[in-house]
Amino acid sequence: MLTHCKTILTNFLSRIPVSGWIIFSFAAWLVAFRDFISTKAYSTSDAIAYIMSSLDLVSNLKRGVWPLWLSYYGHGVPFDFFTQRMGAYNPLYTFMTSVYATKVFSFPVAYLLTLSLYYFLGMIGFYLLLKKIYHDRRVAFGGFILLLFSSLGIRIFDSFLCLMSVPLIWFFYFLTAFLIAPRKLWFAGCILCAMILCNTYVPFYFIMTFMLVAFCFSVVFWSDILPIFKRLAKFFCLHPLFCLAMLTLFVITLVPSAALYFNSYGNIALPLRHGAQPALSALPAATDHILKVDPGYLKWGAFEELIYSSFFTSVKRFNLGIVFFPLVSLVLILWGSFGRINKRITFFLLTTLLFLLIGSPRTPVYTFFAEHLFFFKYFRNLHFFLWFAVFPLFVLIFSEFLYQLLNQDKTWGSYKKQTLCVINIVLHMLLAVFLLVRGDLGFVATFTIGTSGLFIWRLLVGSPAVEWAVCGALCLLVIPQSLNIFLHLSEKNLACTAGYPQETSTLGLQPENVVVNLAKVPKRLPDDYYASNAWSELANNISGPAITNYIRNTLVFYDRVKPLQYDRYGLRRMEIAFLNDENLAFVPADAKLERLSNNATPLAHPLRDNGTHNDRVTIKTQNTNYFAFATNLPNDKFMVFNDAYHPQWHAFINGKETRLIRANIGFKGLWVPAGKALVEFRFGTPLWYWFNVFIWLIFNALFVGILVVMVRDRRKGQL
């Protein structure tokens, strides 16, 4: 009976292909995080900021608008900062928009579900990368399941690392494939991933990663460099037009990043990034702070992250953002120390070491780079190197040892096998004791250690390491322990029921939103993460109560304008005017305004409006980049639109472009004639708008093209 059951089970399991094990693993991962994805458990920290930014993008894409400006964030900011930060051209967001447009899910669920699938896509890329390196599906599955159940996936719910790690994994997959056997598909894949990475967050993380990996590869595999160059040269000679076209696309897609860089000079403020430094650009992180001053959090790097995580490794203490790998990884890393060193392992270890060194601000290596490499000033989160570089490298080391274990020398004598079996027992016992001392040796940990010992012992005594058996054993080794921890984590976070952001029915002009935002006006600037420079100057120089009193309406119509030096006296004068609601707008002293008064008897107070329907002013059209008001004023008025000023805003009155003036330090002002008039505000030029749409189309078209070719090749068995 038992033998019969065993035969049936064996037959069943042996029919499951590796793809089946992959889907099963991901299903288990989804079960582990179902509460997070369904938003029953609450995501935290940066994940919330990214959900909000994604909502802004997706809700605009759904309306058919590419956002360039965001009125309801920090009193108006250019959207290009968010575009770059979250990689808005990434086809991921097109897919997210489609998911959200089905109206089956609320936005946070659509976001988290899409990002989970994106993470899974990244893990598939990692599987393919390992398959390319080892030509062994068992090893590839081992690496896949280990990375899938590492805490890299957990960071979906408290960070945005997934947006960088997934394209990075695919980039190295395409690059490896391209270096082994150059093909158009691999080259296009490399270009697409590089495009995504250069347009996500700070592109220098990718550039640094690429440079470091290339350096280590050159050092370890120096004898292979020449043949690789020959292969590449041959490919470029065979397909010059294709290569040129791809490289041109790549360069074109760098334009928005470059534009953000140049626009950051004097137009935007990121106080938390560049601190109180009198830097011209807002983008560089305060490197001097990282190196010299002592605020502990600014000096956070890879080692700090590892040590911090060590406080939270037990099931009860485990939390989001804590470094975690299933226990089996530790077993194999220890086990692998008895193995012979080879070029691959040297390459992985050397690269890991260098990433740890540059990822920690308290090492001379970091200091050297910070002093000699210009882009180091853009790194604020050095521990990111740990997550998107050291994590995959760690799994590559694990995979190497798994490969050695699965493909061990079959000619070993019985003495050597017995010695290794004893080492295996001792190793697992030591691990058990270690967990016991830490108080982490529960049922699941005991089960995992037992299974691990049995698994390695079976391999050592020469049992056939067939594909289904290895995949099944790895599932047993990884999934129960990870589920135990992740489910406990979900349970802990279930207690938190705070709301997620929801899509607003209208964009931009929501006076109540403006007021709500203003209630949070910081008394000092450093609380603002991102703002226009105009708003920052206002918030820095005018007291909170004066601003709150002034900005309670979206539109303010004045009868008089006063040019003002923004010195100490001028600023106090403005503050008094704001507090007393004087009928007087202020413009810079050098504004050279044609007129300062409407020549009519001025009212005591300015007219205030929120643009809702009335006789005086009505909102005609609005989207995130464009506002149109129909006005009907009794006499000429100087209109101040309390949305931050930025030099890329253009104003039109009755279709004719009109000069837009920076009024009341932070906002947009212009003279509006008496009677009926159409006042329009447009951010950016039509050329820039359509250029952005064009880039978005390039990303999506290239992605679809690569996907189609990969599916076709897979069907032909060429992949």
Partner 1 sequence: MNHIIKDLSQRVWLAYLLIIIVLCLIGSYKDIFSATYILAVDHLAPAYDYSTTVGFNSTPSKEQLETGIYYYNRCVETFPGEKGHAWHMLGYYLYLYGDKKNAIQAIEKSVELVPVFFWSQYNRGVYYFNEKDFAKAAEAFNGAASLDMRLTVMVILNSKTYLQVLCRSSSQTKANNPSIKLIDTFNKTRGYQALSQFCLQNPGHPACSQALQMNYF
Residues that bind partner 1 (CB under 8 A): 42-45, 47-49, 158, 295-297, 299-301, 303-304, 307-308, 311, 316-317, 319-321, 336-341, 345-346, 349, 352-353, 356-357, 360, 362-365, 492-493, 495-498, 520, 522-523, 527, 529
CB of 306 to partner 1, least distance (A): 9
Coil vs helix vs strand at 122: helix
220 CB neighbour count, 10 Å cutoff = 19
Q: HEC string of 601-617?
A: CCCCCCEEECCCCCCCE
Q: Are 406 and 465 in contact (CB under 8 A)?
A: yes
CB of 687 to partner 1, least distance (A): 35
Q: Are 201 and 84 in contact (CB under 8 A)?
A: yes
Which residue lies nearer to partner 1 by CB, 40 or 234? 40
Which residue lies nearer to partner 1 by CB, 289 or 573? 289
CB of 326 to partner 1, least distance (A): 20
Q: What is the DSSP letter of 458?
A: H
Pairwise CA distance, residues 120 & 470, whole Å: 21
CB of 200 to partner 1, least distance (A): 22
CB of 318 to partner 1, least distance (A): 10
The pair of three-digit structure tokens given for residue 501, joined into one six-digit string = 């952001």
Determine phi and psi for 330, rounding to 5 degrees: -65, -40
Pairwise CA distance, residues 300 & 359, whole Å: 9
Which residue lies nearer to partner 1 by CB, 170 or 376? 376
Question: Residue 360's closest CA among 316, 311, 304?
Answer: 304
Determine phi and psi for 219, rounding to 5 degrees: -70, -45
CB of 714 to partner 1, least distance (A): 36
Contacts 24+ apart (CB under 8 A), 689-697: 689/66, 689/68, 689/625, 691/255, 692/66, 692/68, 692/83, 692/256, 693/66, 695/89, 695/252, 695/253, 695/255, 695/256, 696/66, 696/88, 696/89, 696/94
Coil vs helix vs strand at 557: strand
Which residue lies nearer to partner 1 by CB, 74 or 87? 74
CB of 419 to partner 1, least distance (A): 13
Which residue lies nearer to partner 1 by CB, 230 or 524? 524
Which residue lies nearer to partner 1 by CB, 87 or 301? 301
Question: Residue 679's closest CA among 666, 701, 660?
Answer: 660
Pairwise CA distance, residues 520 & 417, whole Å: 69
CB of 296 to partner 1, least distance (A): 4
CB of 40 to partner 1, least distance (A): 14
Which residue lies nearer to partner 1 by CB, 307 or 711? 307
Which residue lies nearer to partner 1 by CB, 257 or 313? 313
Question: Residue 647's closest CA among 132, 183, 268?
Answer: 268
Which residue lies nearer to partner 1 by CB, 368 or 694? 368
CB of 170 to partner 1, least distance (A): 28
Task: For the chain, state the CA radius of gyration.
Answer: 30
Q: Are 623 and 79 in contact (CB under 8 A)?
A: no
Pairwise CA distance, residues 17 & 15, whole Å: 6
Which residue lies nearer to partner 1 by CB, 408 or 618? 408
